[in-house]
Structure 1
């Protein structure tokens, strides 16, 4: 089974640079649906064990959050399982 890995950069230029570096040169970009300035770069990459051969999708975020924060029980690295942050209210 080939693993699919999602990598998210803070800026589009960093996503492009990392994808091209890990992808061995020029990695073609696809526009994210509805966001023509946001690109997705997909390429094969072999990670060390235990992952091995994977398909990587490199993308980036857009915009800024200036006034939102997690509930206090989610604000420390040791306060929760990181997976809980995907569903945590902000």
Structure 2
């Protein structure tokens, strides 16, 4: 008799856990479906972003990037082989 009682208790506990787990799953599913339905309200649009940038331009100093060092433009290519090598190395420097 005690064993039968224990089996019944385990069965009840198992059913309760399954029910709770199914309830959780349903709640998550509902929550996710609501999120998907309302996602257009949850995400900023391009116009929201533009408005925020305009708004922040008044209050914050712009984050200035460090000035880029302007490389001199490569010399004209004469067609001679040694010049070709220096031309290529200048181009590599210029475009990096």
Question: Which interval holds the TM-score relative to the shorter structure?
Answer: under 0.3
- Which has the higher Rg, Structure 1 or Structure 2? 2
TM-score normalised by the chain length of structure 2: 0.18
Q: Higher RCO, 1 or 2 (CA under 8 Å, sep at least 6)?
A: 1
The structure that is strand-richer by fraction is 1
TM-score normalised by the chain length of structure 1: 0.19
